[in-house]
Amino acid sequence: MRRLSGLRRRGSEETLPPYREYERSIKSVDLPEPPEYKEVETKLLPGRMNGYYKWMSLGTILIGPTKEDIHYTVKDSLLGNLLSVLLKEGDNGRIIAKIVGPQSNYKPKKFRVELEEYNDVTIAPLNTGIFTSPTNATYTFSLGKETFEWRPSRGREVRELGGKLSHGWKLVRLGCLDEATGGNRQERKPGYSSDGMEIVALFAFSAYLNFSKAFSFRFMGPVGSLGKRGELVAFTSAMQLRFLQQRAYMSSSASTSSAGAGCAAVSC
């Protein structure tokens, strides 16, 4: 019988040669550290919040740091031009803010945030061109002497908040220009926009309709907090943007389904 090459005889047993270990040189790779954002001390709302759809209802979102710790509820009133969004304490508590104004799936419209304990604030779209929809427009509002903008974004901060396939908006404070902190995504300082504006809030959601988690939201900013009124305006207006996005998605899906059904009926 032919013996396998390399086998050694030990007594009456054939054994393999001793195992030799080889050292492999592993090159170290310097990975970029994740950005560190300063936690903002909020006055009223939690600094970080997530939205979770209530069971069997895309028009009701439960809000809190976790699914087990719900602080607020936001509802799409489905009343069209009369009333859009209601922000309530807990699941069935008092209404503390609401959105009023005309709604459209095709053209951005201004709307008003009505607050229970503070003056109302009007949110207006900056760009209303033919190719601008409610879901990709920039919206602006003022708080006292300061002006803010909700800017649509798929940038680093939004993806870090909501996940790789997320998009959303970032709220920037226009009065805090720092050109040294701006620039492209690889160069600019975390927490600032490309034009050097301070980012004071982030709002992110999945690019696809997620029937469990509706969004992620966080306040941020190295300069200072927004105060109670500012927090309510920022968060409630973000909820309006979320429902605008959701309505547009549902409308698009319905149109696609109708077109497919019509094509099938005439044997396209």
What are the tens digits of pLDDT across the range 136-159? Answer: 899 999 999 999 999 999 888 899
Residue 12 predicted with pLDDT over 70 = no
CA–CA dist 5, 15 (Å, integer): 11
Angle at 127 between CA 122 and CA 133, to 5 degrees: 95
The predicted pLDDT at position 180 comes to 56
CA–CA dist 141, 172 (Å, integer): 11
* Least confident among 38-52, 116-130, 171-185, 220-234: 171-185
Q: Is-contact 142 119, C-beta < 8 A? A: no
Q: Is-contact 181 189, C-beta < 8 A? A: yes
The predicted pLDDT at position 113 comes to 96
Q: Is-contact 151 132, C-beta < 8 A? A: no
Sign of CA dihedral 93, 98, 102, 107: negative
What are the backbone angles phi and psi of residue 183, rounded to the nearest 5°? 115, -170
The predicted pLDDT at position 148 comes to 97
Q: What is the mean pLDDT of residues 30-56?
A: 74
The predicted pLDDT at position 203 comes to 94
Greater confidence (19 vs 96) lies with 96
The distance of Cα 148 from the centroid of its chain, to the nearest Å, equals 18
DSSP string, the chain: -PPPTT-EEETTEEEPPPP-----------PPPPP--PPP--SSS-SEEEEEEETTEEEEEEEESBTTB--EEEEE---TTS--EEEEETTT--EEEEEES---SSS---EEEEESSS--EEEEES---TT--TTT--EEEEETTEEEEEEEE-SHHHHHHH-TTEEEEEEEEEEEE-GGG-SSTTTSPTTB-TTSEEEEEEEEEESS--SSEEEEEEE--SS---HHHHHHHHHHHHHHHHHHHHHHHHHHHHHHHHHHHHHHHTT-
CA–CA dist 264, 59 (Å, integer): 31
pLDDT one-digit tens code per residue, 202-257: 999 987 777 788 999 999 975 557 899 999 999 999 999 988 887 777 766 555 54
Task: Look at the block and give the residue holding tokens 């899906």.
Answer: 253
Q: What is the mean pLDDT of residues 180-194?
A: 67
Instruction: Give the residue extent of every domain in the chain.
Output: 48-252
